[in-house]
Amino acid sequence: MSRINSKTFFEGEIIGPQYSFLTRKWQAQQSIDVLHWGRFPSFEPYISIFNNDDFVYDPYNNDFIYMRWKERFLVPDHRVNNVDGASFAGFYYICYQRSTNEIKGFYFYFNNHEWYQQLVLEHVEERAFGSFEFR
């Protein structure tokens, strides 16, 4: 299996006062949201209340931050929005756990037969100083 390295630009929505757990776009209905958010064990306390009009998740005072990430284009060429073998049509349901610095996500695209493609990102501590460039 060959690997292709690419850089992608994402737009994100943090679940909280501005964005609810209900997606309401990208062909994701409430039943899809329940299935995907429900794959995160930390979401279990919210499964029966996340759709209540008066429920607003507090991302500031919880260990878990829930997000949606939508791929938009490749970097540095923003005109490339289609790649053979990949799709920008869907989006990721994301959960970041502060205490472990781990990000997990599940991809959703309505026409994708593999609904639970998983993304796992873990922090790797660098043993050197970061570099910066000023222009």
Q: Per the confidence metrics, is the pTM higher than 0.85?
A: no
What Cα–Cα distance (Å) separates residue 6 from each residue in 2, 73, 115?
A: 13, 10, 22
Domain residue limits, the chain: 7-122
* Beta carbons within 8 Å of 106's beta carbon, 6+ residues apart: 36, 39, 92, 93, 115, 116, 117, 118, 119
Q: Which of 81, 107, 119, 95 is nearest to 26 (CA)?
A: 107
Number of helices (H) and strands (E) in the chain: give both, helices first: 1, 5
Task: Provide the terminal-to-terminal Cα distance of the chain, rounded to the nearest Å.
Answer: 39
Give the pLDDT confidence score for residue 1 in this predicted structure.
47
Q: What pLDDT, on a 0 to 100 scale, did the predictor assign at position 81?
A: 57
Q: Note the pLDDT tens digit of each residue in 69-90.
A: 987 766 666 566 556 555 667 8
Q: What is the pLDDT of residues 10-48, one digit of tens each?
A: 789 999 999 999 998 888 888 889 998 999 999 999 998
Question: Which amino acid is residue 55, in one-letter code?
Answer: F
With tokens 């409430």, the residue in question is: 30
For the segment 91-114, the average pLDDT, to the nearest whole number, is: 85
Average pLDDT over all residues of the chain: 80
Phi, psi (degrees; rounded to nearest 5) at 16? 170, -140
Give pLDDT, residue 128. Answer: 64
pLDDT at 94 over 50: yes
pLDDT at 66 over 90: yes
- pLDDT recorded at residue 75: 62
Closest CA to 56 of 18, 25, 30, 29: 18
Residue in 3, 5, 7, 15 with CA at minimum distance from that of residue 74? 7
